[in-house]
Each structure stands twice: as structure tokens, then as C-alpha cells.
């Protein structure tokens, strides 16, 4: 009996000192990405780029990325964030790429200020990230290997709606 009590006590003490992996214990639910909802603008060399996100359902956000050229929107890609059970996927469909088929990126980490998605089998990018800087400011980052070199492109955005 004394041995059982001692083993339970040691298990309790040891278990209390373990630091959980936040990504495993943090909820991987789409609700945690609601800070992305809205319309975001980024000034680029090609013109003003916009990214718009709306909540289609509790398990799906839909969006699009477009350029305004002489006040005419030119759609660059359509976007989906979809929750399937305990996984979340970022699914862009980019005009004139990948035979106009969607590509799935799986959520790797999520917090109140960060979303990181990855698809190591994709040509470029392999990682798509969003970093919330403030309520009205974020940075989207695409990165990965391209032509044998690591590349990273940052898109600072501010909220317009």
C-alpha cells in the first residue's frame, strides 16, 4: 500500500512539472482565427492589394485576394479556411496556377496573434502565415524553397473594414 501511495505521489509531482506543448493542447478551432475576418489592404508595386475574409459558417471562412487596377478588381485567388474535425485547412485557389485547382495547407500553429499553415509538397510557397500586429494591422508571409533557395515574401496589411 505504501508503495502505491508513493508511486501516485511521484506521478503527480512529475506530471505537474511537465510543460505541455501549446500547439498540441491549444484548440485548433476556426473560432480562434476570427481576428482575420474583415478587409485588409496592402500597398504593392502592382497596386493596392486587398484580402477579404468573411465567416460563412462556424466551420468555414471564405475570402479572396484581389488587386484594384483603375478601380476595377482583379481577382488573384479565392480562399477558404475550413475546419474538419480537429484540423483546420487553408485552401487557396490561385488563378492560372496549379491548373486552377485548390491547394490544401494544414494548420501547424494558432494563437491569438498567429496562424501558420504548411504544405511541404507544394512547389511554392510551402508555408503561409498571418501575424496579427494590432487590431487593425497584420502581416501575411509566404515562404519556402523556390529554385533551390529559401524565399520569404511579406505583405503588411491594415484593416479597411
* Summary mean pLDDT of the chain: 85
pLDDT given at position 24: 35
Residue 119 banded pLDDT, cuts 50, 70, 90: very high
Collect all residues with Cβ–Cβ distance below 8 Å to 56 and sequence separation of at least 6: 62
Collect all residues with Cβ–Cβ distance below 8 Å to 93 and sequence separation of at least 6: 77, 78, 79, 100, 101, 102, 103
Sequence ranges of the domains in the chain = 27-159
More confident residue, 161 or 52: 52
Beta bridge partners of 55: 61
Cα four-point dihedral sign 64, 68, 69, 72: positive
Condensed to tens digits (0 to 9), the pLDDT of residues 19-65 reads: 333 443 345 678 889 999 999 999 888 789 999 999 999 999 999 99
Is the model's pLDDT at 12 over the cut of 50? no
Is the model's pLDDT at 75 over the cut of 90? yes
d(C-alpha 54, C-alpha 64), whole Å: 10
pLDDT given at position 28: 66
Among the listed residues 106, 103, 111, 100, the one whose alpha carbon sits nearest the alpha carbon of residue 76: 100
Residue 46 φ/ψ, nearest 5 degrees: -85, -10
Beta bridge partners of 79: 63, 92
pTM of the model: 0.81
pLDDT given at position 86: 84
CATH number among 1.10.3720.10, 2.40.128.20, 2.40.50.140, 3.40.50.20, domain 27-159:
2.40.128.20
Beta bridge partners of 82: 60, 89
Amino acid at each position: 500500500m505504501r508503495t502505491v501511495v508513493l508511486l501516485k505521489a511521484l506521478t503527480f509531482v512529475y506530471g505537474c512539472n511537465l510543460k505541455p506543448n501549446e500547439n498540441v493542447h491549444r484548440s485548433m478551432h476556426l473560432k480562434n482565427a476570427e481576428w482575420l475576418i474583415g478587409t485588409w489592404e496592402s500597398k504593392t508595386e502592382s497596386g493596392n492589394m486587398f484580402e477579404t475574409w468573411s465567416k460563412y459558417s462556424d466551420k468555414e471562412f471564405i475570402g479572396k485576394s484581389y488587386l484594384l487596377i483603375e478601380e476595377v478588381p482583379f481577382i488573384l485567388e479565392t480562399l477558404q479556411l475550413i475546419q474538419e474535425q480537429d484540423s483546420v485547412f487553408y485552401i487557396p485557389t490561385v488563378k492560372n496556377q496549379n491548373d486552377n485547382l485548390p491547394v490544401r495547407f494544414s494548420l501547424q500553429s494558432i494563437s491569438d496573434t498567429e496562424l501558420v499553415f504548411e504544405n511541404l509538397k507544394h512547389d511554392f510557397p510551402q508555408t503561409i502565415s498571418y501575424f496579427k500586429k494590432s487590431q487593425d494591422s497584420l502581416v501575411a508571409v509566404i515562404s519556402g524553397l523556390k529554385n533551390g533557395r529559401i524565399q520569404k515574401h511579406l505583405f503588411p496589411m491594415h484593416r479597411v473594414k
